[in-house]
Amino acid sequence: MPHRVQSYVHLHLVSDATGETLIAVARAAAAQYASVRAIEHVYPLVRAPKQLDRVIAEIEAAPGIVLYTLINPELSERLEAKCQEFGAPCVSVLAPVLGVFRSYLGTESTPRIGGQHVLNAEYFRRIDALNYTLLHDDGQMTEDLEDADVVLIGVSRTSKTPTSIYLANRGIKTANIPLVPGIPLPGNLETLNRPLVVGLVASPERIVQIRQNRLLSLNASDDSAYVDRAAVAEEIAQTRRLCARHGWPTIDVTRRSIEETAAAILALIQERRHV
């Protein structure tokens, strides 16, 4: 059976700030086209005509789809005019959204380059959360768990650390505690009041697969309970029993991305606040 040739598209992302918004939107859209490989060209901090000229030259050399977030109307108009010349589709990612805001609120926006990155209270809350989370990773500094917003518990390889970091970037102070056979839990874990404690679980097959890959990458031996399916199944069963005993919610991460797991935890936080 012949292999299907994967096509590609040049994706030019032009921003007067960091470009994070564009990258997220572009990747979400590109993910819907499995047979197309997007070649990203990211141009952050484009705020002057000379900078835009260099971008335009690159678009002309490798035509493709152009997405942009430029507050300066002169730069926006020049980019759109040049793309029209090249026959390259050019879309302002924020324009339709700003249009809805303007229509609903009945007022014009106040243009601010990189407005979402302003050093306000929300920004410092995220930094504080990130600092807390890094210091409380993998069972460290358990004395002040009561200061956390969320405490994640789970056996090895249930994505506790990356989920914690993701939540921290959303301003959620997150600690994570590994559940290791034979190692006692922190004494204060079962008496916490303020934090939401969430158990992360997965299928034994998935955990074993990840652990085996981990051991291979470390050139370590795999003749231990660490990758024994029955032992892993018992670890996960103990996690479920512990959570059930305390009324802590569990999330099965077997087929979830980090983002999906974090979204489920954020929903649990919202639920808890409205109880």
Q: Say which residue the tokens 């512990």 belong to.
A: 242
Crossing angle, helix 49-61 and helix 73-86, to 10 degrees? Answer: 20
Report in angstroms the alpha-carbon separations of 228 from 50, 201, 225: 61, 16, 5
Element of type H or E holding 201: strand 196-201
The overall longest dimension of the chain from CA atoms, in Å, is 69
- Residue 177: CB atoms within 10 Å: 21
Q: Is there a binding annotation on residue 93?
A: no
Please check if 157 is assigned to a binding site. yes
Q: What is the DSSP letter of 14?
A: E
Work out the burial of residue 25: count CB atoms within 10 Å of its CB; fewer than 13 is exposed, 13-18 middle, 19 or more buried.
middle
According to DSSP, the β-strands at 90-92 and 65-69 are parallel
For residue 42, list its beta bridge partners: 13
Q: Is 155 annotated as a binding residue?
A: yes
Task: Confirm or deny that 217 is annotated as ligand binding.
Answer: no
Judge whether 221 is annotated as a binding position: no
Asked if residue 156 belongs to a known ligand binding site, the reply is yes
Annotated binding site for ADP: 154-161
Annotated binding site: 154-161
